[in-house]
């Protein structure tokens, strides 16, 4: 294992401690339970292994599909600014599954599978491009670096003769097309928050449904992560998928 494995005796001590004192106050758990483990180990052991109703075994097909969809939605860390909880959010949609389970499954199975798929698609796409090369270079777009200085202004877009065109993945409020790189940068702007990755491609703007709840904070100072509201938003998101 990655560290010292928990014994059956330790599990029982931890379980009894949690049943008696409840979850939380993890810094006191090692003392109360009489365990020679740190607070983090105790918490992790409980959440990932000892907690009731934890589902074991392989993931069902519908679970896998949901993981893929939600990861596509949330996978870009910049989408939720710095307050990202991708795996726990996904796990929250999968009853009985822990964030660690989902993360491990993604790392072991899906990331390789999907990257292989993407590589294959890119290869096929490249073959198609080569086969359809015209004598005249394709027109494409170059973004200048201006937007780093002026976050709310649109970058200057120039035509160029580069042979590898960018793909547009969204449009802004004025209906102007945006490229992936630009969207990521604009999402990073604290007050900007105009677009949210893939949602932009679905035609939804970040502010259309409560930006405060999704980000977990606002300019007015929402300082507490409101889980219930987030789950409500997740329901809305799921409906969009």
Using CB under 7 A as the binding rule, whether residue 52 contacts DNA is answered as no
Binding mask of the shown chain, residues 58 to 77, with x at each position contacting DNA by CB under 7 A: -------------------x
- Closest to DNA by CB, 46 vs 147, is 46
CB 54 within 8 A of CB 63: no
List all residues 6 or more positions away from 8 whose beta carbon is below 8 Å from its beta carbon.
none
Nearest distance in Å: CB 172, DNA: 26
Using CB under 7 A as the binding rule, whether residue 26 contacts DNA is answered as yes
Nearest to 67 by CA among 84, 44, 92, 49: 92
Give the whole-angstrom CA distance, residue 109 versus residue 90.
16
Write out the E strands in 20-107. none
Binding mask of the shown chain, residues 113 to 132, with x at each position contacting DNA by CB under 7 A: --------------------
Q: CA dist 31 to 7, 16, 106, Å?
A: 17, 13, 35
Nearest to 33 by CA among 50, 11, 62: 11
CB 17 within 8 A of CB 29: yes
Using CB under 7 A as the binding rule, whether residue 83 contacts DNA is answered as yes
Using CB under 7 A as the binding rule, whether residue 105 contacts DNA is answered as yes
- Which one among 78, 88, 140, 201 touches DNA, defined by CB under 7 A? 88
Number of residues that bind DNA (CB under 7 A): 45
- Closest to DNA by CB, 65 vs 125, is 65
CB 170 within 8 A of CB 201: yes
Stretch that binds DNA, among 60-68, 105-113, 176-184, 198-206 (CB under 7 A): 105-113
Give the whole-angstrom CA distance, residue 170 versus residue 205.
10
- Which one among 48, 78, 140, 201 touches DNA, defined by CB under 7 A? 48
Using CB under 7 A as the binding rule, whether residue 161 contacts DNA is answered as no
Stretch that binds DNA, among 102-110, 134-142, 160-168, 186-194 (CB under 7 A): 102-110
Sign (positive/negative) of CA torsion 83, 87, 88, 93? positive
**Which residues form the interface with DNA (CB under 7 A)?**
1-6, 24-28, 37-41, 43-45, 47-49, 77, 82-89, 99-101, 103-105, 107-109, 216-217, 223-225
């Amino acid at each position: 294992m990655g560290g010292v494995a928990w014994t059956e005796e330790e599990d029982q001590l931890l379980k009894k401690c949690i049943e008696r004192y409840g979850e939380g106050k993890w810094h006191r758990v090692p003392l109360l339970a009489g365990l020679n483990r740190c607070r983090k180990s105790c918490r992790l052991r409980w959440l990932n292994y000892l907690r009731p109703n934890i589902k074991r075994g392989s993931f069902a097909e519908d679970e896998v599909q949901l993981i893929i969809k939600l990861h596509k939605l949330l996978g870009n860390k910049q989408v939720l600014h710095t307050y990202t909880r991708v795996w726990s959010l996904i796990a929250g949609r999968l009853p009985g599954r822990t964030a660690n389970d989902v993360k491990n499954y993604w790392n072991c199975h899906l990331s390789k599978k999907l990257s292989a798929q993407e590589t294959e698609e890119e290869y096929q796409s490249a073959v198609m491009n080569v086969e359809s090369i015209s004598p005249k270079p394709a027109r494409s777009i170059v973004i200048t670096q201006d937007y780093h200085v002026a976050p709310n202004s649109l970058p200057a877009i120039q035509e160029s003769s580069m042979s590898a065109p960018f793909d547009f993945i969204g449009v802004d409020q004025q209906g102007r097309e945006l490229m992936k790189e630009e969207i990521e940068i604009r999402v990073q702007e604290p007050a900007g928050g105009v677009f949210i990755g893939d949602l932009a491609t679905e035609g939804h703007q970040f502010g259309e449904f409560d930006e405060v709840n999704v980000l977990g904070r606002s300019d007015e100072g929402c300082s507490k992560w409101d889980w219930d509201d987030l789950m409500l938003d997740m329901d809305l998101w799921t409906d969009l998928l």
